[in-house]
Structure 1
Amino acid sequence: MTALTQEVQGAAGTTGGATGNGLARYLVIRFLLIVPTVLVLVSVVFFLMHATGDPVTTAFGDRLTPEQLHQKLHQAGYDRPLLTQYLDYLRSLAHGDFGRTATDNQAVSSMLRTYGAATAELAVYAMAFALAVGVPLGMVAAAYRDRAADVALRLFAILNYATPVFFLGLLLKLVFSVWLNWLPPSGRSSIDVQLELQDRTGSTGIYLVDALRSGDGSAVADVLRHAVLPGVALGLLVAGVLLRLVRTNLIGTLSADYIEAARSRGVSRFRLVTRHATRPALIPVVTVLGLQVAGLLGGAVLTETTFEWKGLGYELAHYLTVRDYAAVQGIVALFAVVVALTNFLVDVTAALIDPRVRY
């Protein structure tokens, strides 16, 4: 008996070690994939931007003589071979140097810090709204499958996903700012609140955090009022996806044997959905949330432009117009890193929840 017990324990230890090694190997591989992912995206943007023409010619081509234009191109380094510019850019990027913007001569890294906080704040508002709306409505749609409520909610989800975010933003501004005059139509805060928050020592750039730290209730209310419309416009894009996903997963879970057994014992529909079926059905939602980060960043460009929310999306639209290579490449590189890291965290979460994804 002792020999048999030792053999079983040894086999269990071997299995556990193999599982641990499999998880570690999986996580290392997924983490290392971040580098080529970012490299490919940055490279594509680099060559596409250079294919559209240089910012010096775009800005000064009709105001300078050919000699003056050539001199400016030489000073900016745009007259060098494209491959040389590309390798120099990658070398600088590897050292954390994003260069300087061509149009306003500011450090790209400083611009990313300044406006990145605004985009992050908007993304948090949008995701919070999407979770608060998409998950409960998905549960309702699943509970009343193929009934009027389910049909209405599915139509609501499809409309949210299909409607362009800039059109939805304009519609929200028209209704709640122009017609009803309930909410401000643009900006992150009122001018006086903005100046007060920016002048404070140790400002984070995230207005809600800075307003909470100041202890000024009117400033907090002002920041939240300005965040409602852009947060709802961008959040509805993700809410529609979550609604349909939660509904589909929950319907599948409600048909499981243990749910049928609970239903036969007289458990109410509300209790079946909220207590027994919801938790297993929400596991796949965790992975999808990470994938929606890319959608939020893409939607942020149009949302921030529509509401004059001065974040990275707003600046990206501006720098694309003037073909500012360094600024556009820096913003895209940051977006690529954020999306890649988010997907890595999603992979980690999925591997911890379901061991099958490790192999």
Structure 2
Amino acid sequence: MSRQESSLRRFVTTRLLLLPATLWMVATILFVLLRIVPGDPVDAILGPRASEAVREQMRADLGLTGSLWVQYLNYLGQLLRLDLGTSISSTGKPVREIIATFFPASAELAIAALLVALAISIPLGVLAATHPRSPVDTATRTASILTYAIPVFWVGMMVQLVFGVYLGWFPIGNRLPVSMAEPRAITGLYAIDAAVTGNWAALGEALHHLAMPAVTLGLVLAGVFVRTIRVHLTEVLRSPYIAAARAKGLREWRVVFVHAGRNALVPILTVMGLVVASLMGGALLTEVTFSWPGLASRLILAIGQRDYPVVQGLVVFFASIAIAVSLLLDILNAYIDPRIRY
């Protein structure tokens, strides 16, 4: 085994060992926060007229019996068994089933929004970096700041108002028309399932309903991506080796995308990965605005109903996604830039 392979393996092993520790910290903080929030969840769920026997049963279902230390150990034991609990407001449905039901909608929205953001940010970021201090650069930076600063729910409401209500071009909510049956489930992502099964009518409607929420969330992400690409690519393009590559007569696209792009890729991927890891949280307001039946909307409903097992399970699930994305980014960055391994 070469020295580079050994260092990469050691780096990956260290990150994998830190993975459960990070998830344990998130679960512990969540456990503490939910128990120091003012108010009794049993009172909020059952009301003041419930009998003591029913209240005690509810406390047992919520894991609120015994000392705080006992509750904490029981909670960790559940997580180690991959048991995220059982919903109180959904007639005893396990949280894992809720995730399986609602997560595909969130994943479809997140993937579509990411594709929109990349389609906008890569050409604009490269254009701004290759034309510094030009009108194009100024306009691009201004637009990226505005799209990032404007609240996503306000953008969503304006998009709904203009393109959904006034012009009537797009539907303002849901994943499919109420009268249309869902495509045969394969991945849970309607657009992919409809394309795989050849259900072209469902594919058209799925993309039609997905367009507005995906563009809304994608515009906000693009504001971050454009500035990140511009800053790091501009810095790399000022390097002496880029001037040497140009002096050799290489074509500009090769200088930008091959020579400069590789060295600018690590910080760009890091920032993009952090944004993507938090995409589920950012999708929350978008899902609520567009009545999108995703996991973030289900989390809002669980918070309103004081359904603590669902809140705990979904937050741990979101945290697991963020940690996994962060791990993949670390490994990818270490592979691209060997200096990170040491």
Q: Does 1:133 align with 2:116?
A: no
Give 1:8's aligned residue. Answer: none
Please point out which of 47, 71, 84 is paired with 1:61.
47
Q: Is 1:337 matched with 2:320?
A: yes
Contact 1:55/1:102 (8 A) holds in 2: no
What number of residue pairs does the alignment pair up?
A: 340
| Cα separation, 2, equivalents of 1:100 and 1:74 | 12
Which structure 2 segments of 5+ residues have no match? Answer: none
Identity of aligned residues (%): 39
Comparing 26-35 with 65-74, greater Cα deviation is found at 65-74
Q: Does the aligned pair in 1 maintain the 2:62–2:308 contact within 8 Å?
A: no
Equivalent position SS for 1:186 = coil
- Report how far residue 260 of structure 1 moved: 2.7
Kindly report which structure 2 residues correspond to 1:279-294, keeping only aligned pairs within 5 A, or say none: 279-294=262-277
Aligned match for 2:148, one of 151, 161, 180: 161
**Larger deviation, residues 211-220 vs 107-116:** 211-220
Among 219, 243, 268, which residue is 1:236 paired with?
Answer: 219
1:216 partnered with 2:203: no
| Cα 1:75/1:332, change in 2 over 3 Å | closer
Structure 2 Cα separation of the partners of residues 259 and 76 of structure 1 = 61
How does 1:1-359 map onto structure 2 within 5 Å? 17-52=2-37, 53-65=39-51, 68-74=54-60, 76-104=62-90, 105-193=92-180, 195-197=181-183, 200=184, 202-261=185-244, 263=246, 273=256, 277-359=260-342
CA RMSD of aligned residues (A): 2.2
In 2, are the aligned partners of 1:38 and 1:340 still within 8 Å (CA)? yes
The residue identity in structure 2 corresponding to 1:24 is R
Following superposition, the deviation at residue 275 of structure 1 comes to: 6.1
Which residues of structure 1 form unaligned runs of 5+? Answer: 1-15
Moved more, 125-134 or 81-90: 81-90
Judging changes above 3 Å, is the alpha-carbon distance between structure 1 residues 76 and 158 closer, same or farther for their aligned structure 2 residues? closer
Residues 348 and 211 of structure 1, relative CA distance in 2, 3 Å threshold: same
What code does the residue aligned with 1:249 have?
Answer: H
1:13 is aligned to none
Letter in 2 for 1:157: S
Structure 1 residue 265: Cα displacement: 6.7
CA distance in 2, matches of 1:259, 1:251: 11
Q: Deviations over 1:10-52 (max 9, x none)?
A: xxxxxx6443322211111111111111111111112211223
Relative distance call for 1:272 and 1:328 in structure 2 (3 A) is same
More deviation in 299-308 or 283-292?
283-292
Distance in 2 separating the partners of 1:183 and 1:76: 42
- Residue 150 of structure 1, CA deviation: 0.8
In 1, Cα distance between equivalents of 2:3 and 2:255: 38
Q: Give the aligned residue type for 2:27.
A: V
Contact 1:54 1:78 in 2 (8 A): no
- Deviation sequence 1:326-345 (CA, Å, 0-9, x none): 10111111111111111111
Evaluate the alpha carbon distance shift between residue 71 and residue 330 of structure 1 in structure 2; reply closer, same or farther with a 3 A threshold.
Answer: closer
Distance 1:189 1:287 in 2: 35
Q: Distance in 1 between matches of 2:202 and 2:57?
A: 50
Aligned to 2:106, what secondary structure does the other structure show?
helix
- The whole-number CA distance in structure 2 between the counterparts of 1:277 and 1:45 is 42
- Give the match for residue 6 of structure 1: none
User: How much has 1:254 moved relative to structure 2?
Assistant: 2.2
Partner residue of 1:5?
A: none
How far does residue 256 in structure 1 lie from its aligned partner after superposition? 2.6
CA distance in 2, matches of 1:153, 1:135: 12
For 1:24 and 1:245, how far apart are their aligned partners in 2? 29
- In structure 2, relative to structure 1, the CA distance for the partners of 1:58 and 1:129 (3 Å cut) is same
SS in 2 for 1:185: coil
Alpha-carbon distance between aligned partners in 2 of 1:248 and 1:323, rounded to the nearest angstrom = 44
Call closer, same or farther: CA 1:96–1:70 in 2, change over 3 Å: closer
